[in-house]
Structure 1
Amino acid sequence: MNCKSLQPAAKKCVNEDCELHEKGFAKYFCNICNLFDDRPRPIFHCPYCNTCRMGLGLGIDFRHCMRCNACVSLADKDHRCIPQKLQGSCPICHDTLFNSTEPLKGLRCGHVMHLSCYNQYCRGQNYTCPLCMRCMEDMSDYFSLLDQAVRMQAMPAAYQNTICNIYCQDCEKTGECRYHFVGLKCTQCASYNTREMGRYEQLAAFPN
């Protein structure tokens, strides 16, 4: 305290002789959260979250999704709703998400984790959500490379008639495909994010 005057939380000092009476305690003050912030960054109070968020404000660069009960960037055109999705914890570090001061990363499936946790998780060559196992990002370019690898590498004669029963973790459908050690491709959505459920030998020709 500058003048040592006892006072309730406010933007300016109640003592008119104090230099903070005109200057104020901080660049940003929220009289609901009693939050003071003097850093050069935009902050706004969301009445639906009932907390302060980093950004210019609702309708400017953020909107509040009532179903998710979370503020969503207007730049996020692929927002996928999951009810109360910020009420849980980060699947990597298990810290709370709703009151987190760290940047968050929304995945294609709709789940959320800390951006720093996401970067660390990806460095381990993980590309599926740790909660639902769907692809976290658009993997079409990577899957095209796998298509090329499958075409370039012929399977040994012992495996040329091996058919796999698979479950696709992206489209959540089951199906069959020809076995290949590079990967098992879903015939429904062309994803390689699949699990083998079983295999058998096909006597008749199987379509590629």
Structure 2
Amino acid sequence: MEGSTDERLDFGKMGFGCKHYRRRCKIRAPCCNEIFDCRHCHNEATGIFSNPFDVHDLVRSDVKQVICSVCDTEQPVARTCTNCGVNMGEYFCAVCKFYDDDTDKEQFHCDDCGICRVGGRENFFHCKKCGSCYSVSLRNNHSCVENSMRHHCPICYEYLFDSLKDTTVMKCGHTMHCECYHEMIKRDKYCCPICSRSVVDMSRTWKRIDEEIEATVMPEDYRYRKVWILCNDCNDTTEVLFHIIGQKCNHCKSYNTRTIAPPVLPQ
């Protein structure tokens, strides 16, 4: 390929790839020896077309061979094509075997996570206890949950740790996709799907329930009955007066409670 070194390296930049990444190479999946644009294309294809008893995900670090999209040369993993000399990815990580021409994503490799992430290294820190990278705004400002990102989103069930979608950390420390979180709130669901703790400030709602209870007198047979409750917000267990509208935690004043023993009459 003629031209200066820079022109040769940049030839075809942003002109190849798939819906997941712009890159100038394809990968040979070591698990099935098939060629795909990226590991996500592999995972989607195996879930649809393969033997249902052989559905599997590609481990990105296991990739050994790539195929240059410019000259169609298959070769060992490297940033530059050994045949035509183009950069097969403006961003390249030899650990993850990851290529991407779209550097506006500000990709970086986190040694502690063991994978590449996007958003700029200076904007993230790795929380050792949670086992994942979080925005610097959450440094010393979030509830730690061990390996909090190494599970599936409780709404859409996609694995969060290496998901391409943005994630959020709720007040309780559990995580989910940002778009799933906003959809949950839009549907008036304000509790964590994992631990049931309130994820937004509910004080105005609790005040409104106070007013409803004050205005709703229970029948004589139930007026002095008590019930044991567990508070989902503070985990306190207490005995309170039963009311059809709801039971208020004596400790944190939350109505996000559950009954753990049926109402009983006073002795």
Q: What TM-score do the two structures reach when normalised by structure 1?
A: 0.79
2:120 aligns with 56
1:42 aligns with 106
Task: Give secondary structure in 2 for the equivalent of 1:165.
Answer: strand
Q: Is the 8 A contact 1:166 1:198 kept in 2?
A: no
Instruction: Choose the corresponding residue for 1:141, options 198, 204, 207.
Output: 204
2:251 aligns with 188
CA deviations 1:89-138 (Å, max 9, x no partner) are 22233332222112222222222222233334334432222222222333
Which 5+ residue runs of structure 1 have no aligned equivalent? 204-208
* Cα distance in 2 between the residues matched to 1:152 and 1:42: 56
Q: Is 1:74 matched up with 2:148?
A: no
* Cα distance in 1 between the residues matched to 2:78 and 2:240: 66
How far residue 6 of structure 1 moved from its aligned partner, in angstroms, is 5.1
Q: Is the 8 A contact 1:88 1:97 kept in 2?
A: yes
2:64 aligns with none
Q: Is 1:119 matched up with 2:187?
A: no
Task: Give secondary structure in 2 for the equivalent of 1:199.
Answer: strand
Q: Is the 8 A contact 1:166 1:174 kept in 2?
A: yes
* Cα distance in 2 between the residues matched to 1:135 and 1:178: 22
* Cα distance in 1 between the residues matched to 2:241 and 2:147: 41
Q: Is the 8 A contact 1:61 1:73 kept in 2?
A: yes
Task: Give secondary structure in 2 for the equivalent of 1:175.
Answer: strand
1:198 aligns with 262
Q: Is 1:170 matched up with 2:170?
A: no
How far residue 4 of structure 1 moved from its aligned partner, in angstroms, is 4.5
Q: Which moved more, 1:190-199 or 1:120-129?
A: 120-129
What amino acid is aligned across from residue 132 of structure 2 in structure 1? A
What amino acid is aligned across from residue 145 of structure 1 in structure 2? R
How far residue 14 of structure 1 moved from its aligned partner, in angstroms, is 4.7
Task: Give secondary structure in 2 for the equivalent of 1:86.
Answer: coil
Q: Is the 8 A contact 1:70 1:86 kept in 2?
A: yes
Q: Is the 8 A contact 1:127 1:136 kept in 2?
A: yes
Instruction: Choose the corresponding residue for 1:103, options 147, 166, 181.
Output: 166
CA RMSD for the aligned pairs?
A: 2.5
What amino acid is aligned across from residue 144 of structure 1 in structure 2? K
How far residue 185 of structure 1 moved from its aligned partner, in angstroms, is 0.4
Task: Give secondary structure in 1 for the equivalent of 2:229.
Answer: strand
Instruction: Choose the corresponding residue for 1:28, options 82, 91, 103.
Output: 91
Task: Give secondary structure in 1 for the equivalent of 2:137.
Answer: coil
2:38 aligns with none
How far residue 54 of structure 1 moved from its aligned partner, in angstroms, is 1.4
Q: Which has the higher helix share?
A: 2
2:156 aligns with 93
How far residue 62 of structure 1 moved from its aligned partner, in angstroms, is 0.9
How far residue 154 of structure 1 moved from its aligned partner, in angstroms, is 3.4
Which 5+ residue runs of structure 2 have no aligned equivalent? 1-68
Instruction: Choose the corresponding residue for 1:2, options 64, 70, 77.
Output: 70
CA gap of 1:6–1:158, structure 2 versus 1, over 3 A, is: closer
Structure 1 ranges of 4+ moved more than 6 A:
none
CA deviations 1:152-199 (Å, max 9, x no partner) are 333344433232221112211211222222211000111111112221
